[in-house]
Chain A
């Protein structure tokens, strides 16, 4: 038997494979065995309903895709009334992703969600590249002080595990990671999508209605991997590696660079069985090499 379990804050996951916010919904429960997954992170919710960005919202690029959804969601009340009860049957821990304009909105969301036993952790989305945050000029996760303020407020509002989702669109992700850790983050999700664009050469128009969007998929894996490595060097909280993970070997790379867990995003669209296949693949990888505990992979990159 190999031990695949990992800890993210107070959250004990039976394996390190999670599904990323915005790429998983209860719809997938019909196609896959959700019980095999370590945890699910739900689509980001905000206090009020948001209608999202203008279409087109999706464009395909070389080994990747751009999206500019714009956090379309029906707001926290609808989530509590309609979405959360529909997930009561899930065995996997539920991480709810939240976003707001400023620390007040984030802490209100954290407080209202903490009342529900089925909410097992919060992922604080400071890094959506497709919306305007009120607190800073760019993304909150591009500003150390704004990051600190929001995480501090969320920390004060909840006893749940607080995971902070960072942006790779920064000069030094280590600095932002440290600010989040200092403010009380239990873990860091590294990272969100890369701001990018694509152009239609027939119409001379951007391929996305929002002009720019977030790049995801295998194209960004080496970039995200480096971001995880940088963030892991500067902090001591668990890191969740995200970015183009398609198979178990990708997951191992992220763990060796310092990730305690991984999130599978775009791969769900390509093959909904990917998270479950990664769990099985990790087990095979460990057995082959006589590794008993997956925790021994975390940050074990050999240098020189």
Chain B
């Protein structure tokens, strides 16, 4: 973890309300793993005051990319930054995804939840290449409000992933939710035995994914989002309730911090 002022190489609109920022940093590029995030300073004034946590979207040797949605003052200011400007970033932060050695990968993204999953898909692909065995099958389910909100479909396909899309209004892919596709997929047993699920998106979607994974006895990792202040485990402001140890203290209320212990957790550890 380091605090660096890094150069913006690119900051471009990828869809209405969505931007992708590419910054140069050998350190971030070499130290970041998929699922980790960065605390980005959006303004040098006190408005907004706090940094914004953004996930690593792409990781390469010379730096990182972050895909973000403009939702408020902070991300709006960030979207106005131009290539060549500096941005103050702390990272990489938190614990990312653990890629299981065997079996296929099933990635479930809701809205901007595609952001860390592209980095994950790239890492899974690379890992498979290194072992020179057959490539893992990666199936990506993208759920979004409308066709305009479907992000990264092309990028996932270029990696050789199978991409399935669901939109709430039916303007692209199947009408409905990402979890509808997930259920159908598992029902049709189209995946290898030891497939693992990796999900990122709204909490309601993650809870539904966790339920489906539990019913199908599949390992499932989820990347959570929570309001943060420090981002490094100091302020204790971003708790998620974790199941307590049934044997020692079954009724204890146990919190872990999304920023330090996560943002990626095993779905079965969380009290949803």
Contact = CB atoms under 8 A, between A and B. Distances in A.
Interface stretch (B7-15, B135-143, B192-200, B234-242): B234-242
Interface stretch (B47-55, B62-70, B78-86): B47-55
B109 to A, nearest CB: 23
B228 A58 contact: yes
Interface in A102-151: none
A218 B90 CA distance: 22
A293 interface: no
B41 interface: yes
B3 A67 contact: no
Nearest to A69: B236
A7 B134 CA distance: 68
B217 interface: no
Interface in A18-37: 22-25, 27-28, 30-31
Given A51-B252, A56-B227, A269-B230, A69 B237 contact: yes
Interface stretch (A177-185, A252-260, A270-278): A270-278
Contacts of B241: 55
A42 B253 CA distance: 23
B186 interface: no
Nearest to A209: B239
Contacts of B237: 57-58, 67, 69
Contacts of A63: 46-47, 49
A67 B234 CA distance: 13
Contact of A55 (B49, B238, B260): B238
Given A30-B1, A60-B50, A271-B88, A55 B236 contact: no
Contacts of B254: 51
A62 B46 CA distance: 8
B3 A269 contact: no
B255 interface: yes
Contacts of A101: none
Contacts of A55: 226, 238-241, 255
A27 B233 CA distance: 7
A89 B196 CA distance: 43
B51 A269 contact: yes
B46 A218 contact: yes
A62 B255 CA distance: 28
A246 B45 CA distance: 11
Central interface residue in A63, A268, A269, by most chain B CB within 10 Å: A269
Given A269-B229, A273-B3, A67 B235 contact: yes
Nearest to A50: B253
Given A31-B3, A65-B229, A58 B238 contact: yes
B46 A217 contact: yes
A196 to B, nearest CB: 14
Q: Considering residues B47, B48, B49, B232, which has the most beta carbons from chain A within 10 angstroms of its beta carbon?
A: B49
Interface string B25-49: 0000000000000000100001111
A29 to B, nearest CB: 11
Contact of B236 (A24, A52, A218, A266): A52
Top 10 nearest A-B pairs by Cβ distance?
A25-B234, A58-B237, A63-B46, A51-B253, A58-B227, A269-B229, A218-B46, A27-B232, A57-B237, A269-B230
28 contacts: A23-B234, A24-B234, A25-B233, A27-B232, A27-B260, A30-B2, A31-B3, A31-B232, A56-B226, A56-B227, A57-B227, A57-B238, A58-B229, A58-B235, A59-B227, A60-B50, A60-B227, A62-B47, A63-B46, A65-B49, A67-B235, A72-B255, A217-B49, A218-B46, A218-B49, A269-B50, A269-B51, A271-B41
Interface of B: 1-3, 41, 46-51, 88, 90, 226-241, 252-255, 260
